[in-house]
Amino acid sequence: MGIVDFLRVMPKAELHVHIEGTLEPEMIMSKAEENGVKIPYRSVGGIRNAYRFNDLQSFLNIYYSGMSVLVDRDDFRDLALAYFKRAHQDGVRRAEVFFDPQAHLRRGVNLSDVILGLHDAAAWAMENLRMSIDYIMCLLRDLPEDDGISVLQEALKYRGGVGDGWIIGICLDSKEYGNPPSKFRNAYRIAVDNGLIPVAHAGEEAPAEYVWEAINVLNARRIDHGYHAFEDESLIKLIAEKGIPVNMCPLTTLRIKYFNSILDVPVKRALDAGIAVTINSDDPAYFGGYILDNYIAVYEGQGLRLIDMVKLAENSIRASFLKDSDKDRLLRELVNLTSINSLDSLMG
């Protein structure tokens, strides 16, 4: 077994992927034609050529434009099914998937169509691909908190238990800078009181203070991105000591130009600091890489050892919200894989 094959078959969890960010240009074109939605592109190639981003906002502009082709329950089922099939090929056994209900509601899409379509896909993948899947609803942080609370209260009827393919958590995403976590303290209180698990994008484009707020104000169980946290040594020490996982998306950081080189993405630094860092794909249709591509990029670009890659997969399983018994099962599979395929022999 070669190194890439080994990285592919390692059982892993994907903990940071936006389902709308898996909308490939081919599906944008087909859904636009199917649903009679006008888009500013004439071809798949034209869409791909537009994927040149200078910052987060330039990406978000195209991201929201692309999702305009999603209008009914079948569209959301098709979107999620395509992602689950691809993720399964990359060894993803557990997926905790973000979605943006506000972005669809303000286009006139019914919330029930969004969530039921996503659940249809999860139910199929859980039965046919033996994946474990749940959803985390995101609040658009550049909108008022009251708007988020309104959508949250409507979405609560779709919450479920871990492994049921419904909503289990709450998150913040979209334009971070100028929209600190503390803006959403009331929404998070309502969510947690109703059994949702709190996580948050923090420290992606905004300073370390946003990560402090996500932890201290929102009680976030995981931090997504968290790159600016590494500017504050006391914060890094806290994250390590508390065992707060940090979900990184390496290829995203390069396409949005947070970092100029894969060497600058603080994956190895996080590992060395004892942080439960994980590798994820974020918006793979836009950033040129699904989860395996991100694993390969980190392995090749940061000079990591295969044992480090196994640790990243282990981190993803432990950082998931699976029941302990399900985590143990996946961890045993990972141990068995590494014992059967000697890491020294893979290194050649």
By annotation, the residues acting in catalysis are 204
User: Tokens for 98?
Assistant: 């973000």
133 burial (CB, 10 Å; 0-12 / 13-18 / 19+) is buried
- Compute the distance between CA of residue 19 and CA of residue 83 in angstroms, rounded to an integer: 8
Q: How far is CA 52 from CA 25, 115, 193, 256, 285, in A?
A: 14, 30, 41, 8, 13
Q: How far is CA 273 from CA 78, 202, 245, 276, in A?
A: 40, 19, 12, 9
Q: Are the C-beta atoms of residues 284 and 90 closer than 8 Å to each other?
A: no
Contacts of residue 342, Cβ cutoff 8 Å, sequence gap at least 6: none
